[in-house]
Structure 1
Amino acid sequence: MTKLLPTSTAGSLPKPAWLAEPEKLWSPWKMDGAALAQAKQDALRVTLAEQRDAGIDIVSDGEQTRQHFVTTFIEGLEGVDFEQRETVRIRDRYDASVPTVVGAVARPRSIFVEDAKFLRGLTDAPIKWALPGPMTMIDTLYDAHYRSREKLAWEFAKLLNEEAKELEAAGIDIIQFDEPAFNVFFEEVNDWGMAALERAMEGLDCQKAVHVCYGYGIKANTDWKATLGSEWRQYEMIFPAIQKSSVDLVSLECHNSHVPLDLIEMLRGKKVMVGAIDVATNTIETPEEVAATLRKALQFVDVDKLYPCTNCGMTPLSRQVARGKLAALSAGAEIIRRELGVSAAA
């Protein structure tokens, strides 16, 4: 990954309409059995082609084989009952019906590894694969067994580490842990959340990333953002812990947000995936708008460590809008490369 300003996505990309209902979280599959397995592989081919056509340098699976960035991993575990549901408050923001932890959690087999091997066989490009982080996992469940957020997070961290090591062995270049809960539970992050994430990353030789954002572009999240005032300084509470961690890349929400970009200075030395695409709007950014966000970020992150990215996942968007946004991201990054005197082929 020697190219300057390599572009990537934060995580999910819209699914084809023949696989699941578009523009909807937790959208049910439109088929099952062998037909579904084939359809998922077809969707991986499609999302890879769309990323490459848009000029994305570090590709991903677009989470085409999962209904949700957290629950699909949990579905592969033992000790969680999806029939026994309780209503919990997700990230202190909205209520949701969630499965219940009823016994010791265990990972009887790989969850995403076969999908990763399939994608690796389709491309020589660097691949980033997202897993839910331990703290975000516990915030998406009702715990009737451990009755301790810290204990459950630690157990999940062990299982995530097993999965991450197998993904690395399958040829994944960057493993990203999605931790939007880091942006809410600051005391827990500093008390034990960062330690749990370190446990999930333990022993990995590939690049390790953490994604901390303000959420999908859904109403519950946009309503919450409207209460945060003119400056969003949540990152300030967790950046010191991230700076001291073994995390290599930090994926952040920057474009059209009220995050003071000078906070990124606290991460100096880390690689930063700067969110330059707003996923909470259907308006497609212009390349110059993307470039403007990247220019501001370059005041606070070394140029060889800036990775243009999207703010968050794009599942709730249409494929047409997502394609346009990815193309704008690539074009905006190329504007900055030209300004720096470096061509796209560098």
Structure 2
Amino acid sequence: MKTSIIGFPRVGESRELKFATEKYFRKEITEEELEAKGKELRHKHWQLLVDQGIDFIPSGDFSFFDTTLDTALLLNLVPEKYQSLQLSPLETYFALARGYQGAAGDVTALAMKKWFNTNYHYMVPEIDDTTELKLVGDSLFKAFNEAKEHDIITRPTILGPFTLLKLATYHGSKQAADFYEDAIIAYGQIFDQLAASGCEWLQIDEPALVLDLSPAEVQQFKGLYQRLLAKKGHLNILVQTYFGDVRDTYQELIELPFDGIGLDFVEGRKTVSLLEEYGFPKGTLLFAGIVNGKNIWKNNYQETLSLLEKIQPFGTIVLNTSCSLLHVPFTLANESALETTVTNHFAFAVEKLAELNELKKIVADKQTHHELLKGNTALFVQERFSKNKHVAQQIEALTERDFIRLPVLAERATIQKEKLQLPILPTTTIGSFPQTKEVKQNRAKFKKGEITEAEYTAFNQEKIAECVGFQEEIGLDVLVHGEFERNDMVEYFGESLDGYLFTEKAWVQSYGTRCVKPPIIWGDVSRSQPITVAYSKYAQTLTDKPMKGMLTGPVTILNWSFPREDISLRESTLQLALAIQEEVLDLETNGIEIIQIDEAALREKLPLRQTDWHCEYLAWAIPAFRLVHSKVQPTTQIHTHMCYSEFADIIQDIDNMDADVISFEASRSNLDILDALKAIDFQTQVGPGVYDIHSPRVPSVEEIETTIHNILTKLPIEKVWVNPDCGLKTRGVPETKASLKNLVLAAKKVRGGV
């Protein structure tokens, strides 16, 4: 039995790639130096996999920003507006990822969306009727040959044509199937070049197979691969799926001449039953995803061995991760603050490699490796989660009334309009302001005990005063305090909630150079004291304008944490909802009249199959949000924010969250969500993002003004707010100030023309 992984974290053990790339953006290092750092990390990671005994080692999973974008460039899916800049290949790549504003021109970035049901974001390829899908890049071949130079034979990995073309955005009359012919030619050329280089296996990722697929799409997939696999020659092709089961295409998969099929046995609820009902082709390797690539809890060897007993009769098995290890931190080795009684229960990416190796040994000879199994089993028979009886009693006592806010939305809107006296097209931001080096240093010094709490607070108050002063100066209508005290919108709250654990260096890539450090839910969650009240209350004393209290909602806190596996996600979320409800009521008591409860990750754990949405997720996720704000006064205006995902198909559920105002990311998706809002007569007031904050470019007044006018063609003016599409934490100060000034000026110009 051999071992395999689907992919590995690419930012490095200490986020080396992030820091090198950001230096390149600041022009502190050259393109050649950045490429050298990438090469160094690739070799380091390949060697690590060799040392850990992994048999199938991937290449091509490394990226300077996003592997979907890498595949798009490899296959010439670059819109003309980027090609016309006539930049270097790497500069063009980053123009697609981040936008570009300079001597060569001015372009916005590609749209960015959540990668299936994860917190990773991918760049959405753009295709129009003039697009020529063809092999033009060589990164995949370079990586394979680079590893070969170190005597490491890798299995190149590439996003498959079915998923790539299904995820793309189309401008014109052509759709995915119209590009299949070109894709067959291009992927066939990839097969030939890899085979000529001595490659034995190619991993083709087709995660779209776990989605709901129409009969027509299933036939398209089958026809595409019937023709494509005819070109594989002596190259072994592994089709890799993850994030669920492939119930719609399983029969087609096992009829096609793949040499390996990768199936998810962690999130794939029906994977075992598919094997039992339809069997598995003889001579095909079954890459069994049995080590969870998305959560950090140690694998239960007894349960995994029982699973393997069920599936081993179906053929030769390769022990695999359920998905890429991109979604978990690099290693536990750097976590010195946590007790071993805690870390013994965790497995990050490096430790998951060891789990695969140990499982391989146990399966080969259970008697010889009895101690490995015994030690693992002991972890799962002891009590490890802390319980809170009071929280359990609160949840047990909840009734339907606790999830309903009165009076109804329309009545509240009238009351709030009179109370707040805001102009039409009120302007605001999503919450955070740039986290400068000084802000980060202040927080770091406080955590290290180098400054007192009074000194730490005084610095933050000074920054808040500057932030409030700037917002008043440019004329924003609803202000924020800037969140200078916050490291992360989830970690910050977790640090103040009982039941959470925190890591030192357990970073996970969210997109590009953006990394997050998800906290770990270790026990029952509760709030013992106010979290945000002091800074929000202070900020409100600095202005007569409304100051938004800024909170993260319970669903997002759960989805951006590593959750427990011993209780349901519903129960964990209700615990969080009760804790955040207490914070909401404290803010209200302290004079904060507008409270934003962000649910940026609402869709993240939405089942990938629509038939499971309401019975498994939305049935408790939407009520959990309503629980948070159900007890506030009619005069208190509740906002929420959502970003970088596809919300159109759950837009009615979002309206049912019963917030007073919802801001959406919309700029990168060309305001597509507005049609969905209009179609259902969306009742909640809306702030579609009018410019992209994930790009350093500064939008002009005219550009924002045009965007606002476009919004008003779809939505009534009395329901529209004007704001950026997300928080400003990652942006620089000069570009932030310039962009917000232009935003306010644009809103005033539109008001003046009404």
TM-score bracket for the superposition, by shorter chain length: 0.7 to 0.9
The answer as to 2:664 corresponding to 1:252 is yes
In structure 1, distance between residues paired with 2:684 and 2:638:
11
Aligned to 1:235: 647
In structure 2, distance between residues paired with 1:13 and 1:46:
11
User: Aligned to 1:323, which of 719, 722, 737?
Assistant: 737
In structure 2, distance between residues paired with 1:250 and 1:133:
13
Kept in 2, the 8 Å contact 1:189–1:238? The answer is no
Aligned to 2:675: 262
Q: CA offsets per residue over residues 246-266 of structure 1, 9 Å max, x none?
A: 211010112242441322313
Structure 1 residue 28 displacement after superposition: 4.9
The answer as to 2:578 corresponding to 1:163 is no
Structure 1 residue 177 displacement after superposition: 1.4
Which stretch shows the higher mean deviation, 199-208 or 153-162?
199-208
Closer, same or farther: CA 279–267 of 1 in aligned 2, 3 Å: farther
Q: Report the AA paired with residue 285 of structure 1.
A: P
Closer, same or farther: CA 67–95 of 1 in aligned 2, 3 Å: closer
Normalized per residue, the structure richer in helix is 2
Please give the secondary structure, in 1, of the residue aligned with 2:631.
coil
Aligned to 1:310: 724
Pairs within 5 Å for 1:114-193: 114-144=534-564, 147-186=567-606, 187=613, 190-193=618-621
Closer, same or farther: CA 86–315 of 1 in aligned 2, 3 Å: closer
Unaligned runs of 5+ in 1: 22-26, 215-231, 341-346
**Number of matched residues?**
315
In structure 2, distance between residues paired with 1:273 and 1:142:
30
Closer, same or farther: CA 274–84 of 1 in aligned 2, 3 Å: closer
Structure 1 residue 85 displacement after superposition: 8.6
Structure 1 residue 195 displacement after superposition: 0.8
Unaligned runs of 5+ in 2: 1-420, 607-612
Please give the secondary structure, in 2, of the residue aligned with 1:203.
coil
Kept in 2, the 8 Å contact 1:7–1:330? The answer is yes
Pairs within 5 Å for 1:5-24: 5-20=425-440
Structure 1 residue 63 displacement after superposition: 1.2
In structure 2, distance between residues paired with 1:280 and 1:102:
32
User: Aligned to 1:55, which of 459, 465, 475?
Assistant: 475
Pairs within 5 Å for 1:58-77: 58-77=478-497
Structure 1 residue 183 displacement after superposition: 3.6
User: Aligned to 1:294, which of 701, 705, 708?
Assistant: 708
In structure 2, distance between residues paired with 1:119 and 1:39:
13
TM-score by length of 2: 0.40
The answer as to 2:29 corresponding to 1:29 is no
Closer, same or farther: CA 83–67 of 1 in aligned 2, 3 Å: closer
What value does the CA root-mean-square deviation take over the aligned residues?
Answer: 2.4
In structure 2, distance between residues paired with 1:152 and 1:86:
22
Q: CA offsets per residue over residues 88-120 of structure 1, 9 Å max, x none?
A: 7979xx986533222221111001111111111
Which consecutive segments of 4 or more residues in structure 1 shift more than 4 A? 83-91, 94-97
State the identity as a percent.
Answer: 26
In structure 1, distance between residues paired with 2:671 and 2:599:
17
The answer as to 2:631 corresponding to 1:203 is yes
Q: Report the AA paired with residue 250 of structure 1.
A: I
In structure 1, distance between residues paired with 2:437 and 2:510:
28
Larger radius of gyration: 2
Aligned to 1:46: 466
Kept in 2, the 8 Å contact 1:146–1:152? The answer is no
Closer, same or farther: CA 329–183 of 1 in aligned 2, 3 Å: farther
In structure 2, distance between residues paired with 1:87 and 1:129:
27
Kept in 2, the 8 Å contact 1:268–1:302? The answer is no
Structure 1 residue 51 displacement after superposition: 1.3
